[in-house]
A and B are shown apart, each in its own frame.
Chain A
Amino acid sequence: MYRYDSYDQAMVDARVEEFRDQCRRRLEGKLTEDQFKPLRLMNGLYLQLHAYMLRVAVPYGTLGGDQMRALADIAEKYDRGYGHFTTRQNIQYNWIKLEDAGDILADLASVEMHAIQTSGNCIRNISSDHFAGAAADELVDPRPYAELLRQWSSFHPEFAYLPRKFKIAVIASTTDRAAMKLHDIGIRIVERDGEQGGELGAQFYVGGGMGRTPMIAPCINEFVPLDRLITYAEACLRVYNRHGRRDNKYKARIKILVHELGAEEYTRQVDAEYAHMLDQGVEPPFAELERIRTFFADPEFRAADEASASNEPAKTASEPAFQRWVRRNTNPHKAPGYVSAVISLKPVGGIPGDATAEQMRLMADLAERYGFDELRVMHTQNIVLPHVHQSDLPAVWRALDGAGLSTPNLDQIGDIIACPGLDYCSLANARSIPVAQKISERFEASGKGEALGELKLKISGCINACGHHHAGHIGILGVDRKGVENYQLSLGGSEAEDTALAKITGPGFSEEGIVDAVETAADVYLRERTEGERFLDTYRRIGMTPFKEALYG
């Protein structure tokens, strides 16, 4: 895991002091609310329906046990005892007082954390593959590149007032677990034949996004050499900062610029800027990338056949509930004898992504005891223990089960992504959380969840699409119909390597009606599927018509 040196620490500490000073000037009336707003946003503070919300950055979703414990302490000390993990691998607190914000940032800084650039029209926290450094299918660990980008983008003087927010994701596997092509910039680390064997480089996808005009990013460069990564990113950003639209905030994201110019013309402009920048000294020394890589070296894995360190009774391993959890919630690991274990924050009828302080501490304990002290936040609002020895799984499961954290539903219909919606968000048209709760309860009661297999359901409370509904196998969008909450259903989206945008089925549904509609769509799949097909595969094969007939016929 990356750890701060005195430079990193000094920068974060300076930021805390800067923010305290800004709060003081706001209170003294030297800053108007309009002037203060972008400053607090760049420190993650939003004003929401009931209170301030604070978004804390978890760079590329990786955190240590000590950091998870600090998040638990903050939840207890300054919030109502819980926090909410988000689709951008961050955590949000929904009940924060402005007076406490400076102290919270100081508490975070003491464990090498911050809320820098988690909001505002700047480069946001860099996200990555939640199985990075563990997945059997990755080329290399993508996080060193994400960390280099984190440093480059932190307090970047030219790009603090972009036309709109800017989100970057980095992966290094052909499997996409980070919705890479739905980011402003998606980077995939790839290998090509070089003079001395395989040579690594970065593929750049630019101009993807969700929101009201969802777009899948086109690839604008197949191979940027690693010792030019930052220069190329800087060129992409400069073209956007200069030419992105500022006349209409709904057209201000880079996806609109790339779309209006055309990917070819945008690429030409980036190439021209890049050529100009090559001798401007933008690129970090390559030794820095090498230094960062040492932080992400493999931990000392045990032998595959070594016995568990726990005293969990042997019979646990034969319990059906345990076996189901292992089948569903673990992912193949590159080291023999290991898996990545997913801790579900999606209990039946619960609030997707919420965790209490006690749950956070338990997760930290398990990481410390069985997982080399490392945790990950998934963009699907769950937590991962990336490196768990198989012999320790019974003990891990037993502990999770006792804390309501063992729901075996990874990537199933109960594993819903939902935005805060009308329960918290001032932009919402409709509630998202209660719909998620009702759907997970419905499918638990009918027992169909397991039979449905992989089925990704995503809910947003308005067109801003924080809940990724465009990318759901089934997507739900809350709209306002003459003052009444109404829900549009869409099918066929994907945020994986086969990225696709979902299509709307037809007229929307009431809150009760949408739960029935999801069940109807699921039933069409169960009826029509052939051996081995997922919901998404069946939809792609048979098209929208059979679903429409069942829903509206």
Chain B
Amino acid sequence: MADPVTHSDGPQSDGQGHNSGLLRYRDDKAASHAAVTVDAFVDQDDALAVRIEPGDEARELIPHLARVKLVEVNFPAFGDGRGYSAARILREAGYDGELRAVGDVLVDQLAYMRRCGFDSFDPDAPLDAGDVEAALARWPDVYQSAADDRTPIWTKRHA
């Protein structure tokens, strides 16, 4: 069985202690900057954190990625899947800072979110640690490439 996505780098609780539900899969310190809207971020040169809403154009951030410390992608309802595309678009553009899913983030969506490049989660309702671990370890392999570094089955077959 291949390595599950929960390797040594996570999850950790937030050092600031202000949010017990935060899950992180990064080694650096959690960013604590207040996230502003995409419009505000593009206008304010000193903003370091931004929040993407489902209807926002993630590509507007691409020219500014160098100064971004944290991108939050909001899921007002778990069934609205636009945030998955936003996450991949940022990773494809080379963003390697923290990418956090916030809002209606549930355990059954975590594995797909990880694959789309999210490396931290701040769910509205706290998640059961055991369920999180099981969900992230579930898939022995993946069929297609995405924003994570897992090798798809169709590549392994011909390696």
Chain B associates with chain A: yes
Interface residues of A in 190-246 (CB under 8 A from B): 230, 238, 241-242, 246
Which of A154-162, A173-181, A442-450 forms part of the interface with chain B?
Answer: A154-162
Question: CB-defined interface of A274-287 with B at 8 Å, one 1/0 digit per residue?
Answer: 00110011101101
B108 touches A246 (CB 8 A): no
B154 touches A161 (CB 8 A): no
For the residues of A in contact with B, the DSSP-based class is helix
Question: CB-defined interface of B86-116 with A at 8 Å, one 1/0 digit per residue?
Answer: 1010001000000000000010110111011
Interface residues of A in 7-33 (CB under 8 A from B): 7-8, 10-11, 14, 17-18, 21-22, 25, 30-31
B84 touches A14 (CB 8 A): no
Residues from chain B with Cβ under 8 Å of A284 in the complex = 152, 154-155
A281 touches B145 (CB 8 A): yes
A151 touches B80 (CB 8 A): no
Q: A7 with B82: in contact, given A14-B138, A284-B152 (CB under 8 Å)?
A: no
Interface status of A432 (Cβ within 8 A of chain B): no
Residues from chain A with Cβ under 8 Å of B155 in the complex = 284-285
Q: A157 with B112: in contact, given A21-B134, A30-B131 (CB under 8 Å)?
A: yes
Residues from chain B with Cβ under 8 Å of A22 in the complex = 108
B154 touches A242 (CB 8 A): no
Residue from the list A11, A18, A35, A281 in contact with B141, Cβ < 8 A: A11
A151 touches B92 (CB 8 A): no
Closest to B145 in A: A281
Quick one: which of B80, B86, B116, B158 has the most chain A CB within 10 A? B158
Q: A18 with B138: in contact, given A39-B108, A161-B79 (CB under 8 Å)?
A: yes
A155 touches B139 (CB 8 A): yes
Residue from the list B80, B146, B158 in contact with A161, Cβ < 8 A: B80
- Interface residues on chain A, size class: 35 or more
Interface status of B7 (Cβ within 8 A of chain A): no
Interface residues of A in 142-156 (CB under 8 A from B): 151-152, 154-156
Residues from chain B with Cβ under 8 Å of A282 in the complex = 144-145
B116 touches A158 (CB 8 A): yes
Return A121 CB to nearest CB of chain B, in Å.
Answer: 7
Return A295 CB to nearest CB of chain B, in Å.
Answer: 13
B138 touches A17 (CB 8 A): yes
Q: CA separation between A152 and B54, bound complex, in Å?
A: 25
Interface status of B140 (Cβ within 8 A of chain A): yes
Interface status of A288 (Cβ within 8 A of chain B): yes
Closest to B86 in A: A242
Closest to A238 in B: B85
Q: A288 with B154: in contact, given A155-B142, A156-B144, A280-B92 (CB under 8 Å)?
A: yes
Residues from chain A with Cβ under 8 Å of B154 in the complex = 151, 284-285, 288
Residues from chain B with Cβ under 8 Å of A159 in the complex = 81, 84
B138 touches A7 (CB 8 A): no
Closest to B127 in A: A30
Return B129 CB to nearest CB of chain A, in Å.
Answer: 13
Q: A7 with B153: in contact, given A14-B138, A14-B140, A288-B158 (CB under 8 Å)?
A: yes
Q: CA separation between A35 and B127, bound complex, in Å?
A: 14
Residues from chain B with Cβ under 8 Å of A21 in the complex = 134
A5 touches B144 (CB 8 A): no
A155 touches B143 (CB 8 A): yes
B144 touches A151 (CB 8 A): yes
Interface status of A527 (Cβ within 8 A of chain B): no
Residues from chain A with Cβ under 8 Å of B79 in the complex = 38, 121, 161
Return B108 CB to nearest CB of chain A, in Å.
Answer: 6
Return B43 CB to nearest CB of chain A, in Å.
Answer: 23
| 27 CB-based A-B contacts, threshold 8 Å | A7-B141, A7-B157, A8-B153, A10-B1, A18-B138, A22-B108, A30-B131, A38-B78, A38-B79, A39-B108, A121-B81, A151-B143, A157-B84, A157-B144, A158-B81, A158-B84, A158-B116, A160-B81, A160-B112, A230-B144, A242-B82, A242-B85, A276-B92, A277-B92, A281-B145, A282-B145, A284-B154
Chain A residues at the B interface, C-beta cutoff of 8 Å: 5, 7-8, 10-11, 14, 17-18, 21-22, 25, 30-31, 35, 38-39, 121, 151-152, 154-162, 230, 238, 241-242, 246, 276-277, 280-282, 284-285, 287-288, 291
7 closest Cβ pairs, A-B complex = A161-B81, A157-B115, A157-B112, A284-B154, A288-B154, A287-B158, A7-B153
